[in-house]
A and B are shown apart, each in its own frame.
Chain A
Amino acid sequence: MNRKFDSFKHFLVQNAVPILFLVVSAFAIPISQFSGTYLIQEMLVRLSRNSFLVLSLLIPIMAGMGLNFGMVLGAMAGQIGLIFISDWNVVGVSGILLAAIISTPLAILLGWLCGAILNMAKGREMVTSFILGFFMNGVYQLIVLYGFGSVVPITNPAMVLSRGFGIRNVTNLEGVRKCLDNLIPVSIQGIDIPLATFLIIALFCLFVVWFRRTKLGQDMRAVGQDMKVAGAAGIPVEHTRLISIIISTVLACYGQIIFLQNIGTLNTYNSHEQAGMFAIASLLVGGASVSRASIFNVFLGVVLFHLMFVVSPMAGKYLIGEAQLGEYFRVFVSYGIISLALVLHAWRRQKNKDRARRSLRGIEAE
């Protein structure tokens, strides 16, 4: 009996964040007065929009490098690709492909840079990648706000600030808007399903599953478990870590392109910042931790986080009667959940350690 209760408690502790979110959503959905169809449609759109970005976080977690806040670097690369194609007016799926082709080398370069820096900061990868994101944001602004239109030629004057160089705050992506989502039009009972995007996401999930079984994937897991042991076993630790970050950055770059083709407008100087925060929050809400994340966590997290995201302002409005409050509440939830998950991770690690110790003692007593 006692042991059963203990394992139940263990389950609760393991899944505290998703359970908390399920409970809050269960209360908030009726209050918000949204219809079921609306919510399902909204969740499908958001799944197709965000999953790829969140999936890009998986591989560094496997390599023991924690949450890759440096994924914003990939997002920046993707945005630069999109700026070029909207300047050259390449529309439709070919536009998306061209953007991906342009930004891939850039993403590889940035990923290599990020990986090299993180190799210098072992043990504090997360905070370093976080600050690196801020730093590269400065470099990105320097290039896009001052370099584009002066050093890098931009032909379309509508995209450039009135002073003659620098890209405007908002870049219109009308040419590629939803082109991937609507490539294979499917609609069931009035709910549109962006099938092509889901196919790409499914393909990528297969890639992750396959990748885990390859030699490189196994190496990464070994490095994630223990760098010293892996090094002693002849695995090139730094090289493996570098590759995991490069893969993550390139994928984040594609993820951002998929995200923005759905949105249809690019906030030139803000889109990438939000990409990182929301992707990480979603993954954590799905029950992933800093050291363990699965594909299931990704999809559960995206649904739960965005359910909260859609529902909370309206729920706040009906509950307290002030829209601004709901808006602040949403910001609070996004940041609060990341802190909660980070703290819970550390707390859980300590709990698990205690459990392991206690079970050892139990066996000894018997």
Chain B
Amino acid sequence: MNRIKNFIEYAGWPRIIIGIFLLTLFVMAPFVRVRLDASISDTLVRFGMNGVMVLAMVPMIVSGCGLNFGLPLGIIAGLLGAVTSIEIGIPGIPGVLIAMAIAIPIATILGWAYGLLLNKVKGSEMMIATYVGFSSVAFMCIMWLVLPYRSSNMVWGYAGKGLRTTIAVEGFWHQAISDIGSFRIGQFFYIPTGMFLFLALLCAAMWVFMRTRTGTAMTTVGSNPEYARASGVNIDRMRIISVILSTVLGAIGIIVYQQSFGFVQLYMGPFYMAFPAVSAILIGGASVHKATILNVVVGTILFQGILTMTPSVINSMIQTDMSEVIRIIVSNGMILYALTRAVKVKL
């Protein structure tokens, strides 16, 4: 009994409720003729697709910059990399690597500027981050039309210029990372081993980084800025590093997402992409000030699991598509919960 109590305290009620809900969905799936193996496989694939973007939340939370609603900035860098890589036209792993090689410097520069900005607005980072994300997406809408990309795979056919809203990566690097050592069991069960390995690699790198000198200093800045200043840590510099890291991870994350998804989504595509990542890490047990790699893994599995299972299971049960509404309520409810709870602890 005591052990159960401890576990509940450790995991927290929201996770347990959501976990039980997800488990119920999985149990019910066979009864409403939804294939269990396909569902599990879908959940795992989506976990791999979104994992890196959720991981991108960690550095900024840890350094006290709050939830990175400005993730679209990193995503834009990733999109630029992806589009340029397709323009160059090299397929397979080298194509993905080129995309990342282009995206990372762009993300570093954008992240640096974004970090400088956030240092000027301490205390209201989250609100400003949201709007930095929104306005950068809106700005890029103009740029996608104007930038001189010419590859016939990407531009509007009749005009010969201006990028399309969705660009297929089929024929370039569709599933290039996912398919490293991937395997199938039966017709429906597919494991993208490469994508998991890549995510694990990044998570491990993050775990190690958090234990280096810089990483510890960053954590100190987030949890106790006064103490950090007294120990001679340059607070502004640490915050900028965390923002750059977060933006770069966002850029890598979207490339991983695209190579699995098969499409590059431009224009208003990245507009709301920060919200699923934010909700995922919060569902995983992170708060506005504290996040671990475990939060990333648990949160992404739970959140993506619900996203995968609600459309199929609930639709088959009540013959209505309620998944969109459930997604909105669960993800934003989770963010609300975290925002209100963090202050309660402080009081």
Contact = CB atoms under 8 A, between A and B. Distances in A.
B147 interface: no
B225 to A, nearest CB: 15
Contacts of A332: 135, 138-139, 141-142
Nearest to B338: A131
Interface in B176-198: none
A114 B4 CA distance: 35
Contacts of A347: 120-121
Contacts of B344: 120
A138 B325 contact: yes
A266 interface: no
Contact of A339 (B123, B131, B336): B131
Interface string A335-354: 11011001100110010000
B339 A131 contact: yes
B135 A135 contact: no
With most chain B CB atoms within 10 A of its CB, the pick from A132, A322, A334, A346 is A346
Interface stretch (B49-57, B247-255, B326-334): B326-334
Interface residues of B, number: 35
Interface in B30-73: 69
Nearest to B70: A339
A339 to B, nearest CB: 4
Interface string A3-37: 00000000000000000000000000000000000
B89 to A, nearest CB: 27
A342 B335 contact: no
Interface stretch (A141-149, A210-218, A257-265): A141-149
Interface in B100-151: 117, 120-121, 123-124, 126-128, 130-132, 134-135, 138-139, 141-142, 145-146
A300 to B, nearest CB: 21
Contact of B120 (A163, A338, A350): A350
Interface of A: 117, 120-124, 126-128, 130-132, 134-135, 137-139, 141-142, 145-146, 163, 290, 322, 324-325, 328-329, 331-332, 334-336, 338-339, 342-343, 346-347, 350
Given A121-B339, A127-B127, 5 more contacts: A117-B336, A127-B124, A132-B332, A134-B328, A342-B124
28 contacts: A117-B336, A117-B340, A123-B343, A124-B339, A126-B124, A126-B127, A127-B126, A127-B130, A127-B339, A131-B335, A132-B332, A132-B336, A134-B275, A134-B328, A138-B329, A141-B324, A142-B322, A146-B320, A146-B322, A290-B124, A328-B141, A328-B142, A328-B145, A331-B141, A332-B135, A332-B141, A342-B121, A343-B121
